[in-house]
């Protein structure tokens, strides 16, 4: 990175020359053009391949206006510009994320199947690849699925997952963290077969209550929620209507 002079920063080359010709020595930058903040003596990681590190930077109106050596940037400060000594600390661009789960994301990448692939067909291929190396009955877990980004224009379904394998229980979690698609495979998986980042009890209940058999499997007394997620057929009716005599009262 080329050195930054006060003249370059202020854009007052012509005025400075005229001032010097008139015998006026240049003074400190005025408040209107001086940086709002100067940081010096830092290990600044610029993210610029041409000049990846710097010692100092200046900020004006929430924008970087100078990045370079301590001497260059300190020279830009006005009489009222705050100057912070970073004392050798490393400074990186700001990363704003109001809600993140870095540890969980890392475990997912290590153990599960990333399904951020933009196509149901590609998701199926990725899950099939994992199924080939996974013992029957063991869980296959996908993550980062987004129903709004599939080329097929529809969400992933249990039928799609059945097309991957009927020997494995499969669950694919939505990137939002609260929904997903699942297929039972085994209606009563051993607890030890669940991955470390296993689905929540709500998803587990949904998986086990939609088995391929005609009836729902037995539920643990501690399990919460309704005994079935499906209507009970003809017996499932709305509340009886009031009789004509009582309705007219």
Domain termination site, one of 40, 64, 91: 91
Q: Specify the CATH number for the domain of residue 79.
A: 2.30.40.10
pTM of the predicted protein model: 0.43
Q: What percent of the chain has pLDDT over 90?
A: 53
The CATH number of whichever domain residue 203 belongs to comes to 3.10.310
**Cα–Cα separations (whole angstroms), residue 124 to 109, 117, 170:** 17, 10, 11
Based on the domain organization, do 26 and 58 belong to the same domain?
A: yes
Highest mean pLDDT among 21-25, 27-31, 109-113, 186-190: 109-113
| Domain-embedded: residue 243 | no
Q: How confident is the model at residue 29, as a pLDDT?
A: 62
Average pLDDT over residues 127-146: 96
Q: Where are the beta strands (DSSP E) in the chain?
A: 37-40, 43-45, 53-54, 56-60, 63-68, 83-85, 90-91, 113-114, 140-145, 170-174, 180-183
At residue 222 the predicted structure's pLDDT band, cuts being 50, 70 and 90, is very low
Give the model's confidence band at 143: pLDDT under 50 very low, under 70 low, under 90 confident, else very high.
very high
* Sign of the CA dihedral running 140, 145, 150, 154: positive
Average the pLDDT over each of 31-35, 123-127, 134-138, 151-155 and give the range with the smallest value: 31-35
Most confident of 26-35, 88-97, 162-171, 187-196: 162-171
Take residue 29 and report the two structure tokens written for it: 């930058």
Which range marks the domain in which residue 46 is found?
A: 6-91
CB 42 within 8 A of CB 89: yes
The pair of three-digit structure tokens given for residue 100, joined into one six-digit string:
């993140």
- Tell me if 203 is assigned to some domain: yes
Query: In this structure, are 19 and 77 located in the same domain?
Result: yes
pLDDT given for residue 28 in this prediction: 58
The last residue of one of the domains, among 44, 62, 91, is 91
- Residue range 226-245, pLDDT digits in tens: 333 333 344 434 444 444 44
Q: Which residues contact 75 (CB under 8 A, 6 or more apart)?
A: 5, 6
Distance CA 161, CA 158 (A): 5
Domain for residue 175, yes or no?
A: yes
* Mean confidence (pLDDT) of the chain: 74
Q: Is 8 helix (H, G, I), strand (E, B) or coil?
A: helix
């Amino acid at each position: 990175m080329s050195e930054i002079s006060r003249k370059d920063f202020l854009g007052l080359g012509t005025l400075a020359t005229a001032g010097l010709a008139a015998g006026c020595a240049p003074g400190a930058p005025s408040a209107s053009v001086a940086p709002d903040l100067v940081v010096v003596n830092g290990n600044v990681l610029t993210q610029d391949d041409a000049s990846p590190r710097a010692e100092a930077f200046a900020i004006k109106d929430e924008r970087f206006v100078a990045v370079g050596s301590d001497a260059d940037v300190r020279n830009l400060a006005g009489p009222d510009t705050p100057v912070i000594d970073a004392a050798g600390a490393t400074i990186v661009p700001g990363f704003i994320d109001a809600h993140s789960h870095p540890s969980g994301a890392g475990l997912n990448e290590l153990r599960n199947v990333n399904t951020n692939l933009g196509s149901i067909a590609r998701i199926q291929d990725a899950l099939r690849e994992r199924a080939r190396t996974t013992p029957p009955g063991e869980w296959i877990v996908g993550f980062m699925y987004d129903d709004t980004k599939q080329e097929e224009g529809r969400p992933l379904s249990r039928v799609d997952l059945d097309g991957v394998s009927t020997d494995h229980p499969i669950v694919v979690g939505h990137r939002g963290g609260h929904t997903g698609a699942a297929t039972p495979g085994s209606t009563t998986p051993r607890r030890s077969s669940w991955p470390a980042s296993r689905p929540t009890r709500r998803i587990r209940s949904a998986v086990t209550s939609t088995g391929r058999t005609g009836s729902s499997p037995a539920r643990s007394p501690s399990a919460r929620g309704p005994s079935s997620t499906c209507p009970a057929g003809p017996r499932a009716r709305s509340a009886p209507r009031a009789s004509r005599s009582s309705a007219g009262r």
